[in-house]
Structure 1
Amino acid sequence: MPPHEALRAWTRGFLDHAGLRPGMADALRTVVVFGVRPCASRELLVTALTSLVAAATADGTVRPDTRPTDLLAALVGVALGAGDPARREQAERLLALVLGGCAAEQG
């Protein structure tokens, strides 16, 4: 799949996973946002996003100043605010806002 579609699919999967179990979003927040020392889970997430963002940047669909760590923090915010399966429509809107903010200007 094209890089921007792969990034969207991965981020949706992330939100799906965050909403699977009660407390998962809080656990992700602890690992991603408040982790002060290296954490294997955080590094795996950052590595995956780094690869996806790099590919989407290379094909011109994502802004070159998009930082995978910033995107991950935003995803955790979406998961905390709308990660419950009953709020999936809101999560999709928030995800669209986040990914729209990463989109490269097409001109």
Structure 2
Amino acid sequence: MTGNDGDTARSRRPLRADAQRNEDRLLEAAAAAFAREGAGASVKDIARAAGVGVGTLYRRFPSKELLVAAIYRLEVQRLCEAAPHLAATQPPVDALRTWMERFIDFMAAKQGMADALRVVLTDDSEKLQTRAMLADAIDHLLTPATGPSVARPEVKAHDVLMALGGISLMAGNENQRDLATRLIDLLLHGIVKN
């Protein structure tokens, strides 16, 4: 059984409540550590920050790569789950803008994990699944459940996702978060119906 298969099998079994709390704390501590220190973040420091022993970390995540993959999947899931909430609580254009800003922040946090993610995300099917999930979230924001679409008819969710990816690369390389916001404004101008 490969590490990915084992990770998948483990994710199907529900964890006890205390084990789930430990895992949640580990993922939060690891995400913060990787964003701050990159892939070289210490697993001992991550375990300490989560309030668990290193053995607990390694029982759940036998390698740093599996920990990185779990963080990535959790954060993609959270980002995608935010779309319906934003659509229900904000005007359509504001919801789309807020989600785009969150996407850029998500990508910026991944800069510290880039090397580890390249190793972890070698499976093309996982990359395609992630893109599909993110595009579905964008589509949810472009065509709200109530009311008309906010986007021009020719706008496709995958195109918006690719544009956001480009913005995140440019802003990340320049290390300028304000540049990303200005580019999001330009992108929204091209997306939203007048």
Q: TM-score, normalising length from structure 1? A: 0.75
Q: Give SS of 2:142's match.
A: helix
Q: List alignment gaps of at least 5 residues for structure 1.
A: none
* C-alpha distance in structure 2 between counterparts of 1:24 and 1:9, whole Å: 23
Q: One-letter code of the match for 1:3?
A: P
* C-alpha distance in structure 1 between counterparts of 2:114 and 2:129, whole Å: 17
Q: Which residue of structure 1 aligns with residue 183 of structure 2?
A: 94
Instruction: Give the alignment partner of residue 131 of structure 2, picking from 35, 42, 52.
Output: 42
* C-alpha distance in structure 1 between counterparts of 2:155 and 2:114, whole Å: 23
Q: Give SS of 2:152's match.
A: coil
Is 2:189 aligned against 1:103? no
Q: List alignment gaps of at least 5 residues for structure 2.
A: 1-89
Q: Which residue of structure 1 aligns with residue 21 of structure 2?
A: none
How many correspondences in the alignment?
Answer: 99
Q: One-letter code of the match for 2:171?
A: A
Instruction: Give the alignment partner of residue 77 of structure 1, picking from 166, 176, 182.
Output: 166
Structure with greater helix share of residues: 2
Q: TM-score, normalising length from structure 2? A: 0.44
Task: Report the aligned-residue RMSD.
Answer: 3.0
Larger radius of gyration: 2
Tell me the CA shift for residue 2 of structure 1.
1.0
Q: Which residue of structure 1 aligns with residue 142 of structure 2?
A: 53
Work out which structure has the larger RCO, using CA pairs closer than 8 Å and 6 or more positions apart in sequence. 1
Q: Which residue of structure 1 aligns with residue 87 of structure 2?
A: none
Tell me the CA shift for residue 25 of structure 1.
7.4
Q: One-letter code of the match for 1:88?
A: R
C-alpha change, 1:84 and 1:13, in structure 2 (3 Å) is farther
Tell me the CA shift for residue 55 of structure 1.
2.0
Contact 1:46 1:68 in 2 (8 A): yes
Q: Which residue of structure 1 aligns with residue 92 of structure 2?
A: 3
C-alpha change, 1:21 and 1:84, in structure 2 (3 Å) is farther
Q: Taking every aligned residue pair, what percent have the same amino acid on both sides?
A: 35
Q: Give SS of 2:176's match.
A: helix
